[in-house]
Amino acid sequence: MQEFWDTLSENLKKTFQDVEKHRKGDLVKLASIPHLLSFLQEMGPEDLLLLLDQARKIKRRKNPKFPPINSDFYDVQGLLPEEDRKLVTKVREFMLAEVAPIANEYWLKAEFPFQIIGALKKLNIIGLTMDKSVGGQERSYLLEGMIGEEIARTDTSVCTFFGVHSGLAMNSIDMCGSDEQRQKFLPSMITMDKIGAFGLTEPDVGSAASMGLKTSCKRNGDTWTISGQKKWIGNATFADYIIIWAKDEDDHQVKGFIVDRDTPGMTTEKIEDKLSLRTVQNAIITLKDCKVKEERRLQKANSFKDTALVLKKTRVGVAWQAVGCAKGAYENTLAYTMKREQFGRPIAGFQITQDMLAQMLSQITAMQCMVTRLSQLQDLGKLSDEQASLAKIFCTVSCRQITSMSRELMGGNGILISNNVGRFLADAEALYSYEGTKQINSLVVGRAITGMSAFT
């Protein structure tokens, strides 16, 4: 027993020396070693056990063991076949190794990291769901969605570049082009030797694109003349092919054209000073009597209804993108809350913090389950406009809320770009507005569930 008290006395002496080193002199003044020892000796076994229990809890609080961060709480990715899961993991590893270290830098500079295109090409993830006849892989929409999510989880801007090229531009050709056009343009876009852009929105026509574009086209023999302006067109400063949507002066229907960026009469001007998706190169396009051959007109695009078919598909992609953006913010925040200490313990240990984290994770899980079912319906060929719109609404609204809570949980540090949450917060704003704002997508859903159109 004497040996026990001697050891305890020795340990206490050391602790007091440490305390003194850290200038917590008040404690030293309050308790001397003999005083503490006598106090302990007077304690019964039950009190000693209680004290030991408290000491263990304090030790655990000081040296917590954190579980791995997992935002796929319901193992939704487990629904993919093994081969597809491997591809998703490959994409994640690429994003973490090649893009994560430069994402903030390029976002701040508002420049696109062209050097990653070479590595992206090698991943072979463009045209995953397209026909083998055009170089596609005929794989599932579920896989395509999860790959988009994985890209956005590290960098939502890179995912937008990817979505504009492989979603908007390539789907316009795949869904609205003739077989000849699909064979001619898609293979080099699948290998990313040619990059695409999609020009629908105009300075004066955004949500109301279905009601009438100001950009006009007129046919004379086998040549079309296109005039007008387009705004916000992603990738347009460097894309090889820009899909231009214009209203035919003769039949007043919307037509689509595959236009080379260097076509005489067409100029692109980068939009500066964006607060969101700064890495994406958005442009204003001006077309002045731009001549385009009939062979470049998308042969199956006969009205805005055909353009809307493309948008239905890509809205699913934006919903997946919102899941990735929210996950990126949540994961970085969770890691931060485990490191950041206030009141002598990690802020992750506070009840209100855990309540917010649980709310974020539940929303992410709901979004993930929603888009998963959406892509399954797509794979079954049963996807409706309103289903795509509902997911676009829910996921982008939730993404805004989650990225905002992430910022809040980081306190002031949340607004520093280096803490990897501010970028997601800002990027969520563009996801919320593009490919149909919340209001416009609500009108699509509203029309389907009430049978009444409230568009105008």
Ligand X SMILES: Cc1cc2nc3c(=O)[nH]c(=O)nc-3n(C[C@H](O)[C@H](O)[C@H](O)COP(=O)(O)OP(=O)(O)OC[C@H]3O[C@@H](n4cnc5c(N)ncnc54)[C@H](O)[C@@H]3O)c2cc1C
User: Which spans of this chain sit near ligand X (rule: CB under 6 A)?
Assistant: 164, 198-201, 206-207, 232-234, 276-277, 282, 430, 433-437, 439-440, 455
**Closest CB to ligand X among 274 and 291?**
274
Question: How many CB atoms are closer than 10 A to CB 138?
Answer: 11
d(CA 301, CA 312): 15
Strand partners, 198: 243
Q: How far is the CB of 112 from ligand X (least distance, A)?
A: 13
Q: Where are the beta strands (DSSP E) in 340-400?
A: 341-342, 345-346
For residue 245, the cross-strand partners are 256
Residue whose CB is less far from ligand X, 40 or 284: 284
Nearer of residues 167 and 346 to ligand X, judged by Cβ: 167
User: What DSSP state is assigned to residue 74?
Assistant: T
Tokens standing for 206? Answer: 């955004």
- Cα–Cα distance between 364 and 406 in angstroms, integer? 13
Min. distance of Cβ 408 from ligand X in angstroms? 24
Nearest approach in angstroms of CB 358 to ligand X is 31
Instruction: Concatenate the DSSP letters of all residues of 416-456 into one string.
Output: SGGGSSHHHHHHHHHHHHSSS-HHHHHHHHHHHHHS-----
Q: Give yes or no for a contact between 150 and 327, defined as CB atoms under 8 angstroms apart.
A: no
Nearest to 261 by CA among 243, 285, 244, 242: 242
Q: Are 409 and 356 in contact (CB under 8 A)?
A: yes
Q: Which residue has the tokens 């067409």?
A: 266
Distances (CA, A) of 378 to 111, 301, 371: 34, 21, 10
Residue 103 or 356 with smaller CB distance to ligand X = 103
CB within 8 Å of 348: residues ≥ 6 apart? 66, 334, 337, 338, 354, 357
Is 242 or 410 the residue whose CB approaches ligand X more closely? 242
CB 220 → ligand X: shortest distance, Å? 26
> Which of 110/277 has CB closer to ligand X?
277
Residues 118 and 293: beta-carbon distance below 8 Å: no
Shortest Cβ distance from residue 81 to ligand X (Å)?
Answer: 32
Given the complex with ligand X, which of 147 and 205 has the nearer CB atom? 205
Task: For residues 309 and 181, give the distance between their C-alpha atoms in angstroms, rounded to a whole number.
Answer: 18
Q: How far is the CB of 416 from ligand X (least distance, A)?
A: 23
SS3 state of residue 110: coil
Q: Which helix (H) or strand (E) holds 299?
A: none
φ, ψ of residue 371 to 5 degrees: the values are -70, -30
Smallest separation, CB 196 to ligand X (Å): 10
Q: Encoding tokens for residue 420?
A: 């990897």
Shortest Cβ 216–ligand X spacing (Å):
16
Question: Any idea which residue has 């916000």 for tokens?
Answer: 232
- Output 280 or 409, the one with its CB closest to ligand X: 280
Give the contacts of 193 (CB within 8 A, at least 6 positions apart): none
Give min distance, CB of 282 to ligand X, in A: 5
- Whole-number Å distance between alpha carbons of 347 and 227: 58
As a whole number of angstroms, the distance between CA 349 and CA 334 comes to 11
Least distance in Å: CB of 268 to ligand X? Answer: 12
Q: Which is nearer to ligand X, 242 or 383 (CB)?
A: 242
By beta-carbon proximity to ligand X, the closer residue of 285 and 357 is 285
Nearer to ligand X, 92 or 247 (CB): 247
Minimum distance between the CB of residue 422 and ligand X, rounded to whole angstroms?
Answer: 17
Q: Which residue is nearest to ligand X (CB)?
A: 206
Nearest approach in angstroms of CB 169 to ligand X is: 9
Other Cβ atoms less than 10 A from the Cβ of 239: the count is 26
Report the residue number, 126 or 348, with the smaller CB distance to ligand X: 126
In whole angstroms, give the CA distance from residue 386 to residue 384.
5
